[in-house]
């Protein structure tokens, strides 16, 4: 495994080791000795169909650092920095994560997270440093024009809940920062 730093403080790309032969592959997803973030307490896996768009989600209390990997398929993973006094506050970062490129993304606390699913079947695996607390969940609308995000398709599936999320300006008014 190899750690690749980004221009965002503590937002890290992890290049995973993938061993393949004629039988298949064995991929090292997480190694505590390499990614020294050993406070993960919760894991889950999502399955998303093609053209699904999820996010931007965050917890304003009990914030979560996330380690995101794609076990099957391909996604465009996107985050917004919402951290107080961050040089990159309000800026977005996008990266393709897939079973083929064997990249993962470590997202520190204070970011909103979203992704777009490219393939027919996309399996996304998460490690988190805090439990899911739906009472403290919020988000930012994926379609907020001020974010200037060009999603790969105009034909996408978004949940009713995500369609109703606040825009970035409302987030700044309601929370100021995370």
Distances (CA, A) of 112 to 98, 109, 160: 20, 9, 18
Active-site positions read 57, 126
User: Contact, 11 vs 107, CB < 8 A?
Assistant: yes
**CA separation for the pair 21, 151 (Å, rounded):** 35
Give residues with Cβ within 8 angstroms of 34, minimum separation 6.
1, 2, 3, 14
């Amino acid at each position: 495994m190899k750690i690749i730093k980004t221009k965002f403080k503590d937002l890290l790309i992890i290049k995973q080791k993938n061993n393949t032969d004629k039988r298949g592959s064995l991929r090292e997803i997480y190694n505590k000795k390499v990614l020294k973030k050993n406070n993960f307490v919760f894991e889950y896996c999502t399955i998303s169909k093609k053209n699904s768009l999820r996010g931007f989600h965050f917890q304003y209390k009990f914030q979560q650092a996330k380690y995101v990997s794609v076990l099957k398929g391909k996604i465009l993973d996107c985050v917004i920095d919402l951290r107080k006094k961050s040089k990159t506050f309000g800026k977005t970062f996008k990266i393709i994560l897939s079973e083929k490129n064997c990249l993962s993304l470590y997202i520190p606390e204070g970011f909103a997270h979203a992704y777009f699913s490219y393939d027919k079947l996309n399996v996304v695996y998460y490690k988190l440093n805090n439990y899911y607390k739906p009472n403290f969940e919020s988000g930012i609308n994926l379609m907020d024009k001020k974010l200037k995000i060009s999603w790969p398709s105009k034909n996408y599936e978004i949940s009713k809940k995500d369609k109703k999320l606040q825009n970035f300006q409302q987030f700044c008014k309601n929370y100021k920062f995370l």
